[in-house]
Amino acid sequence: MDCIGGRSEVVVTRVVRVLSATAVLAAVAVSAARVAGADALRPAGSFVSLWQPRAGSSRIVLEAFSLRDGRPLRTLEELPSWPTDVSSPHPGGGGSIWITVSSGPRYQNNTAGGDPAPNSCASRIVSFDPAGALSVTRLSFASSMLVADGVPSPDGRRIVMRAGGCSTSFFNQHLVVEDLQSARRLTIGADAADCHALSSAAWSADGSQLVFAYGSATASPSGRQPPAGTCTVPHPSGLAVVSSARSSGLTAARLIAPAPGCTYQSAAFDRRGVVAIEACTQAGPPQLGPGAYLGNAYLVQLSAQGRLLLALALRLGSNPGTVVSDPSTGLVLVTEDQAQRQHRATYDWVWTFDGRRLLSVGRYPFEGNAVVTAEPW
């Protein structure tokens, strides 16, 4: 890969809260049949997705799409819209779909970062049964916490999520692994300094490991803690592979490093090791400055030891990209939200990856409100 450039300078940025209830298209690919009721609802070769049927509308639905050509097929359920935040859907047992729903924090003023109010959040993880159109709240959390993107383990017994304090979660989350029967919780990365980067985690096929992107914090130029809701730009993200069976820190973790001038955005285990999306500064808009990896982007195949095996070019300006896999079938889905560029058409893209090449599923015109995140179901 020809990624060039150095490590980011430190700058202070104002928080821009992205409300994914109005901004996320989350594609969920159909693999093996789970239950007869779900089979009756979904056409063969389809995926489901959070979807905004009409540009500019606040209406969000769970939609079935064709895995062959990406066209919308059927609306399965209405979902909450702004100001509620709906994380990407993830597959659960028995054909269920798990979605994390949250709101907050409440911003107290118009200063940099908005001065988030403590104890003004609400978070819950819900499972949805498409066959019976039933939703069940599986976990709920105190108003002092903000939780995002709960991902069930392959055996359905645990869930991993990103979590942080309600008023302190901006670039200051860690991973929580919860046993759904015993309610035992483990933490990963709770030692990380404020203003680090952290992606959602993916499970290994046997549930023993997690992989995710992590970028450590940089020091503030003034040496002081930035105001609540603001952050310095973190270092580029490497990939962390950790045990899911015990709590651990990230301060001394060994990371799979990205190429110079690049950062990892997302990763998943596959049958050859780890597959990940790497975004780079090369060919990106120079006026955006450090920390903007909106140039060349790649899907990279790594061995289990982190050695680069293959790199395939994605579209320019991954903002962000997500890769997920289905351990039961080996299906790998790649999605990319292509950053908007002046005088150029940009899209949200969905591909499958067969271990050697990317196969196009569909593209969706970028209109400032759709971010693609594909999930096997």
- DSSP per-residue letters across 188-219: ESTTPPSS-EE---EE-TTSSEEEEEEE----
Q: In terms of pLDDT, which residue wins out, 257 or 48?
A: 257
Task: With respect to residue 261, please indicate whether it lies within any of the assigned structural domains.
Answer: yes
Task: With respect to residue 215, please indicate whether it lies within any of the assigned structural domains.
Answer: yes
Which whole number is the average pLDDT over 244-259? 93
Q: How many structural domains does the chain have?
A: 1
Using 50, 70 and 90 to split pLDDT, how confident is the model at 222? low
Task: With respect to residue 32, please indicate whether it lies within any of the assigned structural domains.
Answer: yes
Q: What is the pTM of this model?
A: 0.86
Domain range spanning residue 75? 17-376
Using 50, 70 and 90 to split pLDDT, how confident is the model at 236? very high
Across 141-179, b (16+ Cβ under 10 Å) vs e yields: beeebbbbbbbbbbebebbbbbbbbbbbbbbbbbbbbbe
Residue 90, CA distances (Å) to 3, 249, 277 in order: 32, 26, 19
Q: Reply yes or no on whether the pLDDT at 176 is more than 80.
A: yes
Integer Cα distance of 352 and 355 in angstroms: 9
Task: With respect to residue 140, please indicate whether it lies within any of the assigned structural domains.
Answer: yes
pLDDT recorded at residue 231: 83
Task: With respect to residue 94, please indicate whether it lies within any of the assigned structural domains.
Answer: yes
Mean pLDDT, all residues of the chain = 82
Both tokens of residue 164? Answer: 């942080």
pLDDT recorded at residue 4: 28
Q: Say which CATH number the domain at 251 has.
A: 2.120.10.30
Task: With respect to residue 5, please indicate whether it lies within any of the assigned structural domains.
Answer: no
Q: In terms of pLDDT, which residue wins out, 143 or 51?
A: 143
Strand partners, 50: 26, 62
pLDDT recorded at residue 377: 62
CA 78 to chain centre: 21
Most confident of 47-61, 154-168, 321-335: 154-168
Task: With respect to residue 269, please indicate whether it lies within any of the assigned structural domains.
Answer: yes
Task: With respect to residue 265, please indicate whether it lies within any of the assigned structural domains.
Answer: yes
Q: Reply yes or no on whether the pLDDT at 351 is more than 50.
A: yes
Q: In terms of pLDDT, which residue wins out, 104 or 290?
A: 104
Q: Reply yes or no on whether the pLDDT at 283 is more than 60.
A: yes
- What are the tens digits of pLDDT across the range 136-167? 999 999 999 999 999 999 999 999 999 999 99
- What are the tens digits of pLDDT across the range 198-212? 999 999 999 999 999
